[in-house]
Amino acid sequence: MDFIGEAIVYDTLGKLKIPFEYYQSPEDFSTEDDSEFWEKIKATRCKNLFMRNHKGDRHFLIISDFYRDVNISILEQRFKKGKISFASQERIDRWIKGTVGAISVFSLLNDTENHVEVFIDQSLETKSKLTFLPNKLNALLSISFDDFVRILDYSGNKYEFIDLCGK
């Protein structure tokens, strides 16, 4: 079977011996009317936001449960260096070589300089399975939480679990 997604994703999963469940769809998994699909796979749907600080010298991957509201001001207050906003496609191309809408933890595999800092909502620590795009739309991979952490460790990027949804 040919999998949709970047080869580096599947090569890394194989190298680390990480099992995954593969799902394909003509949709990009962005609509809210696909609850039947999400119930079938029995895994937590994750949102992945690629952001930058106001100076543009720091970049962040923010990972959270898709259905939780991320409070960006939590990170802004933490850094005390101004506003955080979405990164442009140019910045994506430079640091993680992805496409808007298809960014995920697997995008870190393209960050050879380990420039991107990762912040993960601590609510994910209680989930057994998480879903991520394999750096392309129209496919989805489900992996265990423990294997998610293994991918983070393997990437070499700094990461931290924090409450991203607090008020």
- Confidence band for 39, pLDDT divided at 50, 70 and 90: confident
pLDDT at position 159 is 97
Give the domain ranges of the chain. 7-162
What CA–CA distances, in Å, run from 157 to 45, 74, 118, 149, 154? 22, 21, 7, 11, 8
Mean pLDDT confidence for 19-45: 76
Q: What is the token pair recorded at 75?
A: 């990170």
pLDDT at position 82 is 76
Homologous superfamily, domain 7-162: YbaK/aminoacyl-tRNA synthetase-associated domain (3.90.960.10)
pLDDT at position 81 is 65
pLDDT at position 108 is 97
Asked if residue 49 lies in contact with residue 145, where contact means CB atoms within 8 angstroms, the answer is no
- Confidence band for 26, pLDDT divided at 50, 70 and 90: low
Could you report the per-residue pLDDT of 105-163, keeping only the tens digit for each? 999 999 999 999 999 999 999 999 999 999 998 899 999 999 999 999 999 999 999 99
Cα separation, 54 vs 56, in Å, equals 5
pTM, 2 dp: 0.91
- Confidence band for 15, pLDDT divided at 50, 70 and 90: very high
Q: Which residues of 87-124 are buried (b: 16+ CB within 10 A; e: fewer)?
A: beeebbeebbebeeebbbbbbbbbbeeeebbbbbbeeb
pLDDT at position 32 is 55
pLDDT at position 165 is 84
pLDDT at position 12 is 97
Could you report the per-residue pLDDT of 58-104, keeping only the tens digit for each? 999 999 999 888 888 887 887 776 788 999 999 999 999 988 888 99
DSSP reduced 3-state for 140:
strand
Asked if residue 130 lies in contact with residue 145, where contact means CB atoms within 8 angstroms, the answer is yes
Cα separation, 109 vs 156, in Å, equals 9
User: Can you give the length of the chain in residues?
Assistant: 167
| Of residues 76, 71, 156, the one with CA closest to residue 121 | 71
| Of residues 29, 49, 65, 44, the one with CA closest to residue 117 | 49
pLDDT at position 27 is 59
